[in-house]
A and B are shown apart, each in its own frame.
Chain A
Amino acid sequence: MSDITIGSRHLSPGAKAALGVFARYGTIIGLLAMILAFSLLSPRAFPTVSNFTNVLNQASLAMIIAGGLTLAVTVGELDLSIGFAASLHGILVTGLIVHDKLPIPLAIVIVVALGAVIGLINGFIVTKMRVNSVIATLGVGTIITGCAFAYSAGVPIVSGVPEAFLQLSLGRWLFGIPNNIVIMALVLGGLWVLVERTDIGQQIQAVGGNAAAARLAGINVDRIKTLGFVISGMCAALTGILLASRLGSGTTSAADSYLLTAFAAVFLGSATLRDGEFHILGTLVGALIIAFGFNGLNIFGAPTFSQYIFQGAILIVAVGLSSLGRVLAES
C-alpha cells in the first residue's frame, strides 16, 4: 500500500512526512518542551542541578523495571506481573534481612534469583502451555500478590531494617552520585549492549519482529521469549529491592503502581526515534517524560489525583504514537 488513511481521510505525502517526523521525534520534542515550559514557569525551583538529580534519582527505579519490561515486549510479549513481583521482592528482601538475619548481599542475590525464576515460570506458561502472555502474567502476578500477603501476613516490615540496607538506595558511593542512578545506568547500559550488540540481542529483536521468520532462520523462539521474561523478572526484583531500601520497609503493594509507569515509559519509548519498535534508549526517554511530568505537577502543587490522570493519559498517548509510527513505517 502506498497511501495510508487516518480515519477515512487520505493523507498527502507532505502531511505524511510531517506526521512521520512527529511520530519519531514527538516524544523528544515533548520532553524538551516540557522542561522548557517548567523552567520558564518556575525558574527558581525547577531548572536546578539538585532538582534534576532528584528527578533522576526518583525515576531510576521506574527506569530499571521499565528496562526489563522493554525486553519482554521486544520479544513480542507483555509482562503484567512485574509490579506485583516487585512488591513481593521488596517484602522478601526485608524479611530475609530482618527476620532471617541473612547478610544483605546474599538476600539480594536470592531475591534477584527469585525474579529470574518468576520469569522462567512466565516463559514456560507462555511458550510451552501456549497461554496468552496477558493472561499468563496477570495470573502469575495475582498469585505473587497472594504469596506476598502470605509471607508478610499483610503487616509491613518496618522495624529493624539495618542502616546498611537503607544506604543501598540512599547512599552516594560514586563521586556523590546517588546509588540509584548508578545502578540504573549500569542496568540500562547492560541491557542496551545485550539488545544492540550481542547475538542474543539480534535474536531477541528478530523474535519480536517476526517470530515465524526467526524460527525458519534457525532461532529457538521459545528460549528467546523465555529469556525476555527472565530479564523482565530480574529487573522487577532489582526495583523491588531498591524500593524497600528507599522506603526502609517491606510493604505488600508498595511497587504495584510501577506496572503502569513501566508500560507508559516503554510505549512512549517505542514512539521515539524508531517507528514503533521497542528499544532501551526510547524507554529511557519515556521514563524521563513521565518523571519530569510528575515533578512539574508536584512543583506546581497539583493535587495527587492529577497524577493518575496524567499517567493514564500519557499511556494512551504513548500507545497511540507507537502504533502511528508503525502504520507510517509500513506504508
Chain B
Amino acid sequence: MGTPQAPPFVVVRNVTKSFGGAQALKGVSLDIVPGEVHGLVGANGAGKSTLIRILAGLVYPDGGTVAIDGKSTVIDTPHHATELGMNFIHQELAFVPGMTVLQNIMLGIPKRTRFGLVDWKAMAREVAPIAERVGITAPLGASVKGLSTAENWLINICRALVRKARLIVMDEPTASLSASESEKLFAIVRDLSASGVAVLYVSHRLDEILDLCHRVTVFRDGESVKELAGETLTRPALVEAIVGGHPPSGAPVRHAGSNGKVVLSVDGIARPPRVRGVSFDLHEGEVLGLGGLVGAGRTELVRLIYGADRADGGRITLDGKPFAPRSPRAAVRAGFGLVPEERRTEGLVLPKSIAFNVGLANLDKLVVSPLLRLISPRARANLALEAIRALAIKAQGIETPVGRLSGGNQQKVVIGRWLQRAPRVLILDEPTRGVDVGARAEIHRLIRDLAATGQAILVVSSEPDELPDVCDRVLVMAEGRIVKELSGPAVTRGAIVAASYAEGPNPPEERP
C-alpha cells in the first residue's frame, strides 16, 4: 500500500464548479497516492460525481487546480484522462453488446499486424494474463451479452489495467452485486492496491468503506469537509462528517396530518429486487416523505403505485376502495397525480408551450363540444394563466416553450398541471432537484399550503435537508424496504441520514 511519503499521483486543490445558478463544488481538495484505496463519501448532491466528471475530462472546473504527477493539468477529454492513467468504472457499464470480451477490452486500442489488419492473437496474448489476474472466467472470445454484472466489472477492471491505469475510479461498485460477488471485487481491489494502482472508491455503504479504504475524504454540500484515516476512520466519525453539525434549514411547521382520514393505503407492494414489500398509509392533509439513498427503491415504489410499472404483489386501496394500478392513465382517472423525477425527459414536452404542457393532464376539462371533442383555446389559456399566477411562474407568456424556462419554472409547470385537477394523492418525486434556492422555498411553501387544504402528498427526496422542511412524517427506505419511520419532531436531517446508513445496508440475497 502507498505510504503518505510517496509523491501523490493526483492532487486536487480548491476546485470549484457551478452549473447555471447551482454551485456544485464550492472548493474541494483531495490527493491520491499510488497504491492507496481512497474512499469518497457524502450525501447525494454533495459533489462526488461532479469531481469525478472533472477528473474524467467531461466537465471543466471553474477554479482551483488539478495536478497529475505534480504537474498542473487541464484534463480536456475522456481520452486525455485515459492517457494520464485514469480509468473510470460507472454503475451503468458501457459495453458494445454484440462484441466479444476481448473486443470490448481492446476497444479503441487495437493492435495491428504489419498488413494493417487487427492482430487478434497478439491482443489475446496481452490480455490473457491480466484477465486471469482479475478472475474473468468467461472465455475472451465469448460475447459480453448475458454476462453478469459482476463479470462486467471484472472486464472493466481488466480494460483499465490493459490501458496501464494508475488510478481506477469505481462509482458505487457493489450497488448491483451480490454479497459473494462483492467479496470477490474487494479481493481484486486489495490486489490492485498491493501492485501500486490507486483506487478511488465511491460508495454509500460505510461497511465497505471502513473495510477497504486506507483513507476517506468526506464531501458535504460541495466541500471536502473531512479526511479520515487510521484511527480516526470510524463509522460514527463518518456519519458525523456526512451529516454535518448544522441544523435543518427552515423552521418546519408540522400539521397533525396523521389525524386525518386515510386516503391511500399500500399493503405489501413489491417488485423485486428494487421494491421488496412496502406498506404504509397516507392521510388527508398529510405530507409523507420517502427518504433514503439513491437506489433504495423510492422512485420505483411510487412508479408502482402510479401504474407506470407493474407490481408483482401487494394491494392498494384509495379512499377505502381497492385500486389496481394498470397504467398511469388509470391512476390519473382514479385520482393520482405524479411529478416525475426527471422533468425534462418524463415531465414535459419541451418544445411545446406552457399552456400545452399544463393542459395535458386536464384535457377532459377543456373539451367544449363532446361530439367533436373540440377544446377551447381560451379555457386552456385560462388554465395556464391560473397556474402561472398560483405558482409565480416566471415566463413571457403562456405560449413560451417550456424548454426555454429555468429548471425551477419548468418544475412549477409540471406541478401546475396537477393543481387544477386536485388529485386525491399528489406524488412529487425529487420536487426541487436542480432548482434554485428561491424556487425551492416557493415549492416547499406550496406543498405545505396544499396539505393545509387537505391534499394528501407523497414526497420523494434524496436530499436529507428537504424532507424535514416539508414533511409531517418520513419513511426511510433501504434495499427496497422501509427501515425506519420518523414522525413529528423526530423528522430531522440527522435521523434520516443515520437511518439511511443504519446497520449497513443488507447485502442483497445471492442471485443466480
Q: Give A residues with C-beta under 8 Å from B.
A: 193, 197-200, 202-203, 205-206, 209-210, 212-220, 275-277, 326, 329-330
- Chain A residues within 8 Å of B331, by CB: 218
Out of A200, A203, A218, A330, which one reaches B403, CB within 8 Å?
A330
Subset of 5 A-B contacts with CB under 8 Å: A197-B375, A215-B328, A215-B329, A216-B308, A275-B351
Among A198, A202, A330, which residue has the most Cβ atoms of chain B within 10 A? A202
Among A205, A210, A217, A277, which residue has the most Cβ atoms of chain B within 10 A? A217
Out of B352, B373, B417, which one reaches A198, CB within 8 Å?
B373
B308-A215 in contact (CB<8A): yes
B401-A218 in contact (CB<8A): no
Say how far A208's CB is from chain B's closest CB, in angstroms: 9
A210-B350 in contact given A216-B308, A218-B329 (Cβ < 8 Å) = yes
Among the stretches B291-299, B340-348, B385-393, the one at the interface with A is: B340-348
Out of A197, A198, A216, A330, which one reaches B347, CB within 8 Å?
A216
Q: Is B327 engaged at the interface, CB distance under 8 Å to the other chain?
A: yes
Q: Is B360 engaged at the interface, CB distance under 8 Å to the other chain?
A: yes
Binding site secondary structure of chain A: helix
Cβ contacts B105-122/A at 8 Å (1 or 0 each): 000000000000000000
Say how far A155's CB is from chain B's closest CB, in angstroms: 44
A197-B377 in contact (CB<8A): yes
Q: Is B361 engaged at the interface, CB distance under 8 Å to the other chain?
A: yes
Q: Is B76 engaged at the interface, CB distance under 8 Å to the other chain?
A: no
Nearest 10 pairs of A and B residues by beta carbon: A218-B332, A209-B349, A199-B363, A217-B360, A198-B373, A210-B349, A218-B329, A217-B361, A212-B346, A199-B375
- Chain A residues within 8 Å of B360, by CB: 202, 206, 213-214, 217, 219
A206-B349 in contact (CB<8A): yes
Say how far B402's CB is from chain A's closest CB, in angstroms: 10
- Chain B residues within 8 Å of A214, by CB: 349, 360
- Chain A residues within 8 Å of B349, by CB: 205-206, 209-210, 213-214
- Chain A residues within 8 Å of B251, by CB: none
B364-A210 in contact (CB<8A): no
Complexed CA–CA distance, A285 and B305 (Å) = 46
Complexed CA–CA distance, A276 and B377 (Å) = 23
A193-B351 in contact given A199-B363, A203-B363, A216-B308 (Cβ < 8 Å) = no
A199-B347 in contact (CB<8A): no
B374-A217 in contact (CB<8A): no
Q: Is B228 engaged at the interface, CB distance under 8 Å to the other chain?
A: no
Q: Is B502 engaged at the interface, CB distance under 8 Å to the other chain?
A: no
Q: Is B511 engaged at the interface, CB distance under 8 Å to the other chain?
A: no
B375-A202 in contact (CB<8A): yes
Q: Is B101 engaged at the interface, CB distance under 8 Å to the other chain?
A: no
- Chain B residues within 8 Å of A210, by CB: 345-346, 348-350
A220-B350 in contact given A197-B374, A199-B367, A202-B356 (Cβ < 8 Å) = no
Say how far B199's CB is from chain A's closest CB, in angstroms: 33
B361-A213 in contact (CB<8A): no
Complexed CA–CA distance, A97 and B440 (Å) = 68
Interface residues of B in 33-75 (CB under 8 A from A): none
Q: Is B366 engaged at the interface, CB distance under 8 Å to the other chain?
A: yes
Say how far A305's CB is from chain B's closest CB, in angstroms: 39
Say how far B414's CB is from chain A's closest CB, in angstroms: 9
Say how far B145's CB is from chain A's closest CB, in angstroms: 19
A220-B348 in contact (CB<8A): no
B373-A220 in contact (CB<8A): no
- Chain A residues within 8 Å of B327, by CB: 215, 220
- Chain A residues within 8 Å of B352, by CB: 205-206, 209
Q: Is B372 engaged at the interface, CB distance under 8 Å to the other chain?
A: yes
- Chain B residues within 8 Å of A220, by CB: 327, 329
Q: Is B321 engaged at the interface, CB distance under 8 Å to the other chain?
A: no
Q: Is B275 engaged at the interface, CB distance under 8 Å to the other chain?
A: no
Say how far B436's CB is from chain A's closest CB, in angstroms: 17
Say how far A214's CB is from chain B's closest CB, in angstroms: 7
B403-A219 in contact (CB<8A): no
Complexed CA–CA distance, A215 and B328 (Å) = 6
A277-B363 in contact (CB<8A): no
B345-A212 in contact (CB<8A): yes
- Chain A residues within 8 Å of B332, by CB: 217-218
Given contacts A193-B374, A216-B306, A216-B340, 20 further A-B contacts (CB under 8 A): A198-B367, A198-B372, A198-B375, A199-B363, A199-B364, A199-B373, A202-B363, A202-B375, A206-B349, A209-B352, A210-B345, A210-B346, A210-B350, A213-B348, A216-B346, A218-B328, A218-B329, A220-B329, A276-B351, A329-B401
Complexed CA–CA distance, A200 and B371 (Å) = 12
Interface residues of B in 357-411 (CB under 8 A from A): 359-361, 363-364, 366-367, 372-375, 377, 401, 403
Complexed CA–CA distance, A218 and B332 (Å) = 6
- Chain A residues within 8 Å of B373, by CB: 198-200
Say how far B413's CB is from chain A's closest CB, in angstroms: 11
- Chain A residues within 8 Å of B417, by CB: 217
- Chain B residues within 8 Å of A212, by CB: 345-346
- Chain A residues within 8 Å of B347, by CB: 213, 216
Say how far A295's CB is from chain B's closest CB, in angstroms: 34
